[in-house]
A = this chain, B = another copy of it.
Amino acid sequence: MTGAPIDFYFDFSSPYGYVAAHRIEALGAELGREICWRPILLGVVFKTTGQTPLVSQPLRGPYHVNDLQRTARRLGIPFQLPEGFPLATMAAARAFHWLDGKSSAEAKKLALALLNACFADAVNITAAETVAGIGAKIGLDATEILAAIADPANKEKLRQVTDDAIAKGVFGSPYFIVDGEPFWGNDRIPDLRDWIVSGGW
C-alpha cells in the first residue's frame, strides 16, 4: 500500500453506504490505498445537522428509492429496503468495532454480510441476536458477538468514532476522507478516484 488510507464512514442503515461498500475496496486496491471502514450512528450526526432520514422525506424519499434501485441495477447488485427501515444499527456497529480491533479484514467481511442481509435480503438487522446470527453464518462465534455488543467498551468505541466523525465534518453516508479532502456520497466515488490520481485540483 502506498499513500494514506481512505476513511470510509457509513451507517449500517444507509443504502448508499451498502452500495459504496461493494465498490470501495476495488478502488483502494487499484490505487494502493487501504480503506478504513468506520461505521457510525447517523442518527447522532443528524442531531447536529438537523437532518432526517432521507427516505422518509417528502419528494426526496421517492426520488432516492428510485435512484437506489437504478444505481444497484447499474452496478449489478441486488437491492431492497428492509422491514422497518430506517433501522437502529448500534448492535451492528458495535460488533464491527469489536472485531475491527482484532482484524480489520474480518470486520469488513462481517460488515458486508450485515449490509447484504439488510439490503439484498431485506433483513431487519437491529437486534443483537440477528447480528450474532449473521456473524455465525460467516464463521464467527455468536456468543462472543453478543458479549461484544453488550460490552461498555464497544459502546464507548462507537461513541468515539461517531463523535470523531462529526468533528471531522461527516454528515452523511457514505462519506470519504482522503488526504484531508472530504467526498460525500456513493456518486462521488469517481471524483474521489480522480482526486487521488491527479493529486487534487
Contact = CB atoms under 8 A, between A and B. Distances in A.
Interface of A: 45, 48-52, 57-60, 62-63, 66-67, 70, 73-74, 166, 169-172, 182, 184-185, 187-188, 191, 201
A108 to B, nearest CB: 26
Number of copies: 2
Contact of A50 (B45, B52, B67, B182): B52
A59 B201 contact: no
Contact of A58 (B49, B66, B74, B182): B49
Nearest to A70: B201
B184 A187 contact: no
Nearest to A60: B171
Contacts of A60: 49, 51, 171-172
